[in-house]
Amino acid sequence: MRPLILAAQLAALLAGAGLSTASAGDLLIHGGPIHTGVEAAPDAQAVLIRDRTILYVGDLAMARARGAKDARDIDLKGAAAFPGFVDAHAHLTGVGLRELTLNLDQTASVADLIAAVKTYAAAHPEGAIYGRGWIETHWPEGRFPNKADLDAAAPGRIIVLGRSDGHASVASSAALAKAGVTAATLAPAGGQILKGDDGQPTGMLIDHAQALVRDVIPPPSAATKRLALEKAGTLYAARGWTGLGNMSVDAGDLTLLTALAAQKKFLIRVDNYMDPSGAAEVLAKGPFQDATGLIRTRGVKLYMDGALGSRGAALLEPYSDAEGLGLQLTERDRGLALMKAAKAVHAQVAMHAIGDRGNRMALDWFEQSLEGDTAARWRIEHAQIVSDADLPRFSKMGVIASMQPSHAIGDLYFAPARLGQARLHEGYRWNDMLKSGAVVAAGSDAPVEVGDPRIEFYAAVYRHSLTGFANADWHLEEAVTRAQALKMLTWAPAYAAFAEGERGTLEAGKKADVTVFSKDLMTVAPAEILTAQPVLTVVDGVVVFEK
């Protein structure tokens, strides 16, 4: 199912697929189910848009009467309209670069990985090879790839291939040699160098140890990054996203993004959370936005721990299938200093935390820094494994749970082995979060995941794999209702960025952001959610995608 979805999307994208840069004007949308996201009036016959703002939502005849004579009439012909879907957590540059480099997210085995590298190396006979997207948890070999695999695919070539979660990489022998990584090399704090029985590095580098080979791959140029950002914006509009929370943003990328928006080459909304190395401006003056209003900078993104799949997530008790408690990636004093600076200028902190220990430490640091301020809307990104004792603290402290439904339907194949049965219920607990009163903002973490709103909605409401698999380990009681999923993907991301007064629902006076799919996600069978096609994306009253 997933390859078919991706192939259809990319074919449409590369063909142009109705991508639009039309200027704003009166739009009348009608002719299909319209879900407003407003509890008191959840459905409407029409949405009238004027001057980038929603003028009226309700009866079709009334909308026609209020609209301009030359209003563009958009008949949905049975397609379903929603408030603009927003990916609460993604990495925009990474999404674009995934399309420009060796994309490994469809590799199904070590043999498949070797074949993909061999093919790419033949087509690119010069220079280092970088790729990303592999994940070994379903591979029949039952192991990580290693330097020998890469050496067999392209002997003598410098190769670095990132795991899909971004928390591990495998490097070839040539890459390790150029970086000076040997059996005697010590792993940096917050990192691991995996070694074989002979004591030599296998090529697998976990979390901060990836920095050891960072310089052996030339960084993408500003021109390449600009192209990546433009491509990512086009792709996201074509998938039905009207915006995203952009995580770990480089200062240079923010400059490129702002320039693209000014030139009307980037047309969706972005709320940026800066990497600490590029956060000086937002930590000095607080949140700000560009002249278009599309590009906003909200705060700083920090990392508490690694990922569960690569055993870098920080756990309270050892992993059930290996020794160790995971990794802490941010030193406490530095983390608290950054939080203090953010609080002083009302900037948000978005803290990556996966494991139960990672989440507890994040909540502890937030509690110490916020000193009882429950209105700061600081965020924990992922909040994947949360202990029973810590779950109520999200709501009590006003902390946003920024979670990615698709992580569960991938991770639950291996999470039982990592966590064991006694604490498996602590994982991916969207329903428990909502019941506790916490705000759950849903996203994809692309390019870790595909970055498709249909997959996120499907995972949230059905909690099965893309092929329909689930078992008792998947804790189906954590699935949410369709109304809750819609709110997680529309209103909650707006709230998490202090923008719920402007967007997140279809109401008069709000920004005109609308997502339309060919099928009604609120009523079709779960499997049909994945086959619904994006047909219209409107941002700020402008049609930015139309099929």
How far apart, in Å, are the Cα atoms of 263 and each of 21, 162, 196, 442, 453?
Answer: 11, 33, 52, 30, 27
Domain assignment present for residue 102? The answer is yes
| Separation between Cα atoms, residue 240 and residue 534, nearest integer Å | 6
Do 100 and 55 lie in one domain? The reply is no
CATH number of the domain at 53, please: 2.30.40.10
pLDDT at 487: 98
Structure tokens that stand for 538 in this block: 């409107």
Structure tokens that stand for 349 in this block: 């902190």
Last residue of a domain, one of 216, 231, 255: 216
Do 18 and 67 lie in one domain? The reply is yes
Phi, psi of 286 (to 5 degrees): 85, -175
| Separation between Cα atoms, residue 401 and residue 390, nearest integer Å | 12
CATH number of the domain at 98, please: 3.10.310.70
Do 165 and 66 lie in one domain? The reply is no
When computed from its CA atoms, the radius of gyration of the chain, rounded to whole angstroms, is 23
Domain assignment present for residue 531? The answer is yes
| Buried b or exposed e, range 20-45, using 16+ CB within 10 angstroms | beeebbbbbbbbbbbbbbbeeeeebb
pLDDT at 540: 97
pLDDT at 4: 39
pLDDT at 25: 66
pLDDT at 382: 98
pLDDT profile of the chain (547 residues), mean per 10: 42 43 72 98 98 97 94 97 99 93 92 97 95 89 96 97 90 97 95 95 95 91 96 98 98 98 98 98 98 98 95 97 96 98 98 98 98 98 98 98 97 95 98 98 95 98 97 98 98 98 98 98 98 98 97
Do 74 and 116 lie in one domain? The reply is no
Region of residue 540 (phi > 0: left; psi between -120 and 50: alpha; otherwise: beta)? left
Do 109 and 191 lie in one domain? The reply is yes
Domain assignment present for residue 477? The answer is no
Give me the DSSP letters along 498-520: T-TTTSSS--TTSB--EEEESS-
Domain range for 167 is: 93-216
pLDDT at 1: 41
pLDDT at 165: 82
Domain total of the chain: 2
Do 102 and 192 lie in one domain? The reply is yes
- Give kind and range of the element (H or E) at residue 543: strand 542-546
Do 105 and 211 lie in one domain? The reply is yes
pLDDT at 13: 42
| Separation between Cα atoms, residue 90 and residue 105, nearest integer Å | 16
pLDDT at 388: 98
Last residue of a domain, one of 192, 216, 240: 216
Do 55 and 116 lie in one domain? The reply is no
Do 20 and 97 lie in one domain? The reply is no
Last residue of a domain, one of 161, 184, 216: 216
Domain assignment present for residue 20? The answer is yes
Do 103 and 212 lie in one domain? The reply is yes
pLDDT at 114: 97
Domain assignment present for residue 433? The answer is no
Domain assignment present for residue 140? The answer is yes
CA dihedral 482, 40, 50, 52 (to 10 degrees): -50
Only one residue has tokens 């960084």, namely 219
Domain assignment present for residue 126? The answer is yes
pLDDT at 3: 41
How far apart, in Å, are the Cα atoms of 498 and each of 297, 347, 373, 399?
Answer: 11, 11, 15, 13
| CB within 8 Å of 248: residues ≥ 6 apart | 91, 273, 274, 275, 301
Do 72 and 161 lie in one domain? The reply is no
Domain assignment present for residue 449? The answer is no
Do 66 and 136 lie in one domain? The reply is no
| Separation between Cα atoms, residue 77 and residue 332, nearest integer Å | 56
Structure tokens that stand for 87 in this block: 């990916």
